[in-house]
Amino acid sequence: MKYTRFSKNDKLDYNLVFVYEDKLSGVNKSIGCSKALKDIKKAVSQKLICGKLGSMEMIVSTMYDSNYFLIGLGKKSELTIQKFEKYLSSVIKKINKYDIGKISLDLSDITIKNYDVLKGSIIEFEKSNYNFKNNSINHLKECFIKVPNNITKKAFDDTKRISLAIAHGLNTARKLGDTPPNICNPTFLARESKKLEKLHKNLKVEVLDEKQMRALKMGSLLSVSQGSTQPAKLVIIKYTPLKNKQPIVLVGKGITFDTGGISLKPSPSMDEMKYDMSGAGSVVGTMQACAEMNLKNNVIGILACAENMPSGVATRPGDVVKSMSGITIEILNTDAEGRLVLCDALTFSKKYKPKYILDMATLTGACLVGLGKYPSGLFSNNSTLTQKIKKSADVTGDRVWELPLYSDYFDELKTNFADIQNIGGRYGGAITAAAFLANFTKDEKWAHLDIAGTAWESGNDKGSTGRPVKLLTDFVMTNK
């Protein structure tokens, strides 16, 4: 899609205008043409337009010969990023069903604290272009965006460029997540990552196979792929345009299908465990965005890819394995496999002398139970890093909620048969999982995002959300 800064002489046949239920009289501000304004004011007075959250009315201005979609955003003071993006995306979906090629979008009266509304809107438009089966035709080709006057042409173009890079990365993450698990296996993730090398001369992809991982003594990661015919892969995506600068390392859980292994999962909704590689998908998407926007920062992505299957050669509950760090692990539940692949990837990542390490993982059902689908769970051993992540979440609307890492949780991982066990007690499962990982990142500034509730939608709108690509791209852009 094409995005053009709206200038006052532009006249479009179709126009998107936002209205607030408590500022209905203010609707005049957004309508450039006095003739159309007359029609709209009449519709307001006839109560055809209410501005209620989620309402959408279409007004045909016969006098000005143009059409207006008026999207209600509720009370102005109660507007949030989530509401704005939700109703913008639903109106885009609707318009794409008509044969409408060009529209105008008026953003001049949308202000949400710390939020870049132009960037958010372009990303929503681009998201609407994604469709896994490629079976719907989007008619919309160009959007003329009205922004406040203080946004210059250059600022508009810069935001556009960055937003497109982010949106493309986000859609890549969604595509990888939605790809069926008989296709999207560890080898596929490695191959798709390798394709990124074309984007930028400073982007390099290395893939370690099981033999190389065995040489590195990654006994924990390799124990997960042991029961599968699909070999594990460790993918390293390096985007390092700057000399002598510590990188930010992003580590993603890449379980391409999680059956639970011998601790087999129940069958209902097991298909959704194809999304268990969403952490890795979000890392690929973020790396793509970095390269595409020509980011001036060093970022390294590491994907810990394996398939968790039961079989005659799979690990058993009770098995003890030795991780790359030397820490031995008693596997009490083979379904707690994410932490087993991540711990070795985290240990491996230290060789890059990272400024920060962030890992993203659909790690626990407990996170979903505790926090629901709206925020990702946030855990960290460093308060500065925590604040930085919260800030990126705040400005992008890609929300997080922090959970504690008290030493009590670490005590739950004690066992008589190894250094640690891979599960805690009955309660606080998202936290004991994070505590497990924290054992491997003691000397680093590390944070963990549990995206079990946020990486995909279930039900009729089943599909990957691409989260937390927006958060991660903001993080790497603002922590140079």
292 counts as binding Zn ion under rule CB under 5 A: no
**Contact criterion met (CB below 8 Å) for 187 and 232:** no
Helices (H), 293-406: 338-349, 365-371, 383-396
How many CA atoms lie within 13 Å of 52's alpha carbon, on the beta-carbon side?
A: 5
- Angle in degrees, 0-180, between the axes of helices 117-128 and 81-97, rounded to the nearest 10: 40
* Smallest distance from ligand BES to CB 337, Å: 5
Cis peptide before 186 (omega within 30 of 0): no
258 counts as binding Zn ion under rule CB under 5 A: yes
The entry of Mn ion, ligand BES, Zn ion, none near residue 330 (CB within 5 to 8 angstroms by kind) is none
Q: Which is nearer to Zn ion, 258 or 292 (CB)?
A: 258
Q: Residue with CB nearest ligand BES? A: 365
DSSP letters of 264-280?
PPPSTTGGGGGGGGHHH
Q: Which is nearer to Zn ion, 104 or 308 (CB)?
A: 308
Q: Which is nearer to ligand BES, 219 or 338 (CB)?
A: 338
Alpha-carbon gap, residue 230 to 209, rounded angstroms: 11
| Catalytic site residue from 204, 265, 373, 391 | 265
Alpha-carbon gap, residue 470 to 123, rounded angstroms: 9
Active-site residue 265, yes or no?
A: yes
The entry of Mn ion, Zn ion, ligand BES, none near residue 74 (CB within 5 to 8 angstroms by kind) is none
Q: Which is nearer to Mn ion, 335 or 398 (CB)?
A: 335
276 counts as binding Zn ion under rule CB under 5 A: yes
DSSP letters of 173-237?
HHHHHHS-TTTSSHHHHHHHHHGGGGG-TTEEEEEE-HHHHHHTT-HHHHHHHTTSSSPPEEEEE
Q: Which is nearer to ligand BES, 81 or 371 (CB)?
A: 371
Q: Which is nearer to Zn ion, 276 or 474 (CB)?
A: 276
Alpha-carbon gap, residue 6 to 28, rounded angstroms: 17
* Smallest distance from Zn ion to CB 335, Å: 7
Active-site residue 161, yes or no?
A: no
Contacts of 450 (CB under 8 A, 6+ apart): 361, 362, 363, 364, 367, 376, 377, 378, 379, 430, 433, 434
DSSP letters of 315-337?
--TT-EEE-TTS-EEE-S-TT--
227 counts as binding Zn ion under rule CB under 5 A: no
**Contact criterion met (CB below 8 Å) for 128 and 171:** no
Q: Which is nearer to ligand BES, 131 or 415 (CB)?
A: 415
* Smallest distance from Mn ion to CB 144, Å: 48
Choices 102-110, 234-242, 257-265, 291-299; region in contact with Zn ion by CB under 5 A:
257-265
359 counts as binding Zn ion under rule CB under 5 A: no
| Catalytic site residue from 119, 274, 339, 388 | 339
Interface ranges with ligand BES (CB under 6 A)? 258, 276, 333, 335-338, 362, 364-366, 368, 423, 429, 452
The entry of Mn ion, ligand BES, Zn ion, none near residue 50 (CB within 5 to 8 angstroms by kind) is none
- For 2, the 3-state DSSP assignment is strand
480: nearest Cα among 242, 285, 303, 288:
242
Tokens of 192: 């798709």
106 counts as binding Zn ion under rule CB under 5 A: no
The entry of ligand BES, Zn ion, Mn ion, none near residue 61 (CB within 5 to 8 angstroms by kind) is none
* Smallest distance from Mn ion to CB 412, Å: 18
Contact with Zn ion (CB under 5 A) among 338, 375, 397, 453: 338
Interface ranges with Mn ion (CB under 5 A)? 258, 335, 337
Alpha-carbon gap, residue 392 to 61, rounded angstroms: 41
Provide the annotated active-site residues. Answer: 265, 339
List contacts with Zn ion (CB under 5 A). Answer: 255, 258, 276, 338
